[in-house]
Amino acid sequence: MLSQLEEIKDTLFKYFETRIDLFKIETRDKIERAVVMGIYAAILLCIGLTILILLVILLGTFLNKWLHSDYLGFVILLGVFIIKLTVTIIWRETWIKLIRKIIVRFVSTKEE
């Protein structure tokens, strides 16, 4: 009887150790996925911002040549970006809600 209790105790300890190891592996897997997605997002963001900056400089230079001015194209682009900034500040809450919905939808589809 005592040996059976020892067997049951050992079996329970092995079971709990296995469950803990499984939890660690699942947690590590989720963390790795999140880190990889974050790294991919950061890389894409850097590439996208670099392309955007180059396109803005190119557009400013084109407007300068088209308007026969040294700076007017960049001033026009500055005005466009100031308008965009004010619109973003005014509708900030709406943008934040939209981004949260997109992130929640993206994360929930990845978990399934």
pLDDT tens track, the chain, 112 positions: 778 888 888 888 899 999 999 999 999 988 898 899 889 999 999 999 999 999 999 999 999 999 999 999 999 999 999 999 999 899 999 989 988 988 888 777 766 5
| Three-class DSSP labels, 88-111 | HHHCHHHHHHHHHHHHHHHHHHHH
CB 63 within 8 Å of CB 80: no
Domain ranges of the chain: 2-111
Q: What is the CA radius of gyration of the chain?
A: 28
Please give the pLDDT value at position 33: 87
